[in-house]
Amino acid sequence: MPAADDHRTPFIANAQPHPWRRYVALGDSFTEGVGDPSPGDPDVFRGWADRVAEVLSAQVDDFAYANLAVRGKLIRQIVDDQIEPALALKPDLITFSAGGNDVIRPGSDPDAVAELFHDAVARLASGGATVVVFTGIDTDFTPVFRSIRGKVAIYNENIRTIADEFDCIVADQWSLKVVQDPRFFADDRLHFNSLGHHEVARMVLRALNVPNELEPMQPDPLPVRPWREARSEDLVWAREFLVPWVLRRLRHQSSGDHVTAKRPEPLPVKTLAPGKDAAARRGDQV
């Protein structure tokens, strides 16, 4: 267990219950949980952050969790809309993932993203909370995003530098090889499915050195498809996901324009099941 004035996580699993009591998650669709429908309501998302909160809550009393993430948001929007509300909740544990939507856009500059990221982390760390940041996934396995692999690598090095300056914990998606597999992704080929979110939750808990009973999940074998069938699936994906994404960029729209945070207040984790308020806040997934 870290000392009261030292928020670094030791390199061995905590022998005693973890020290956190108020967890706030910030970010975009990755942290909102898009791609991982809740079993109780498929139009509300669960995701890795909910899974982490469930484990943390089970180990201590008086634990509360808020999730301010909204799909489609760029880092500037996350900084402007989520930092101050998060700090007002006085968390002792913060997860911050931002910049992914910027990096995948043509012509974006990962160094410009890093400047905003640096300022955001400086503010989040100023209150003494443990801050967890994320590297981006290695996109070499997917033809859709293979071309931006170099930008992601630059983004990751910037994240590591910032984490070192502010003593953040790094949740390293780049090294999470198990999810570099299309079977861990939703039909849109962009967001993790339930298998992917489960593995990210396990990674975050490892980074926090929190013992847990989450086991690896084994996906079904990849089906063998004839070339023509595979190309037909590519066309369906382009029509249902890629074309709408491009049109939103051209129209300066976002999938999160009419969506608000699914969990804006820190609440006990037993209230994670979606209620009427969550249903009223949800919007289109993509």
Residue 138, in any domain of the structure: yes
Residue 266, in any domain of the structure: yes
Give me the pLDDT at residue 217, please: 82
Give me the pLDDT at residue 246, please: 58
Asked whether the whole model's pTM tops 0.85, one would answer no
Give me the pLDDT at residue 245, please: 53
Residue 96, in any domain of the structure: yes
Residue 218, in any domain of the structure: no
Average the pLDDT over 180-198 and give the result. Answer: 88
3-class DSSP assignment, residue 96:
strand
Number of domains in the chain: 1
CATH number at residue 152: 3.40.50.1110
pLDDT in tens, 34-60: 989 887 777 789 999 999 999 999 999
- 155 lies in which domain range? 22-213+228-273
Residue 12, in any domain of the structure: no
Residue 2, in any domain of the structure: no
For residue 252, what are the contacts with CB-CB under 8 A and spacing of at least 6? none
Residue 281, in any domain of the structure: no
Residue 283, in any domain of the structure: no
Residue 200 scores a pLDDT above 60: yes
The residue whose two tokens read 């410009």 is: 112
Average the pLDDT over 156-183 and give the result. Answer: 96
Give me the pLDDT at residue 84, please: 97
b/e for 155-175, b at 16 or more Cβ within 10 A?
bbebbbebbeeeebbbbbbbe
pLDDT in tens, 210-236: 999 999 888 777 776 665 655 666 555
Residue 189 scores a pLDDT above 80: no
Helix (H) or strand (E) holding 204, with range, is helix 194-207
Residue 274 scores a pLDDT above 50: no
